[in-house]
Amino acid sequence: MPIGVVLGLCSAVLTALVTEVYCHRCLAHRAFAVHPVLASFLDTYFRVIVGTDPETWAAVHRLHHRTADTPLDPHSPVQHRPLTVLAGSSYLFAKARRRVPAGTSSGKKIFLIRGLVVAFYMVVFGPLQVLLMLVVHLVCYLGIMGMVNTVGHLYGRKPHPDVPGYDVAWLAIPLLGHGYHNSHHAHPAASRTGPLDPIWPLLRLLATLRLVSLDERRAPTQTRACCEASSSVVRPLEEASSLRF
Ligand SMILES: [Zn+2]
Ligand SMILES: [Zn+2]
């Protein structure tokens, strides 16, 4: 496999992890606190790689929670074409960021670091592999984000019938815990989304290293009874398939 593909995959997974742990669970939902040194590193990483500030990402995500599946939702597959939500994460984010308070500017330091990173990869791996890496990174990272916003609001079980989103437990592994999307909308401040949440062991490790301050009351290790409610509702297949692509 070309080295550019491997680097692109690693970069996409790492960036999705930073987005999930720092921007989503820590900043958007205050599920736990991150040590200031680690927070500073993650903030810089996100600005360099994604090109926006983490607080703006968090503000757009909170907008999604407040308006989920209504006409004001920035990326609802119920309100937009699901294919647009799946493939158009960047476009929808760019539109939504105008509706939240402006974040802090990244400044020259971030541009300098980004330039040095690109220069390093160019020298070590060559322009062709860097181009390959960039394409694989964008497709995989935006694909993960698009899948969360699309599948999480269209298909699966609904242990919380009055809350947006659906649960597909096995999807929690590739989607970094977001297979439990209905449960997440019901318990947005929980640091663990469900039993198969792959982020949870990482958070426990970071807590052991005192890099993350977990509130155990927000992250019960046992499955929440309400998420196992017998009132689960699976969206009828014919209803789901009638949605526009
Ligand atoms: Zn959602
Ligand atoms: Zn959320």
Write the single-letter amino acid at 222.
Answer: Q
Provide the residues around ligand 1 (an ion) whose CB is within 5 A: 165
Better-scored residue on pLDDT, 68 or 217: 68
How far apart are the CA of 119 and the centre of ligand 1, in A?
37
Question: Angle formed by the axes of helices 89-96 and 127-151, to 10°?
Answer: 70
What is the residue whose two structure tokens read 């900043």?
27
Structure token pair of residue 4: 């550019």
CA 239 and chain centroid, separation = 27
Q: Render pLDDT for 159-177 as a digit per residue (tens, 0 to 9).
A: 999 999 999 989 899 989 8
How far apart are the CA of 59 and the centre of ligand 2, in A?
10
Mean pLDDT for 61-69 is 92
pLDDT surpasses 60 at 238: no
* Cα(156)–Cα(17) distance, integer angstroms: 24
Count of CB atoms situated within 10 Å of the CB of 85: 26
**Interior angle at CA 11, CA 191 and CA 96, nearest 5:** 60
Better-scored residue on pLDDT, 34 or 237: 34
Structural domain tally of the chain? Answer: 1
Q: What is the pLDDT of residue 89?
A: 84
> Which range marks the domain in which residue 14 is found?
3-241
Q: Report pTM.
A: 0.85
22-45 CB burial, b ≥16 within 10 A, e <16: bbbbbbbbebbebeeebbeebbeb
How far apart are the CA of 79 and the centre of ligand 1, in A?
13
Q: What is the pLDDT of residue 147?
A: 87
Q: What is the pLDDT of residue 244?
A: 37
Q: Which ligand has the shortest distance to the CA of 30?
A: 2
CA 84 and chain centroid, separation = 17
How far apart are the CA of 61 and the centre of ligand 2, in A?
6
* Cα(170)–Cα(155) distance, integer angstroms: 13
Count of CB atoms situated within 10 Å of the CB of 105: 9
How far apart are the CA of 90 and the centre of ligand 1, in A?
16
Q: Which ligand has the shortest distance to the CA of 61?
A: 2
Q: Render pLDDT for 72-87 as a digit per residue (tens, 0 to 9).
A: 999 889 888 888 888 8
Mean pLDDT for 85-91 is 86
Q: Which ligand has the shortest distance to the CA of 149?
A: 1
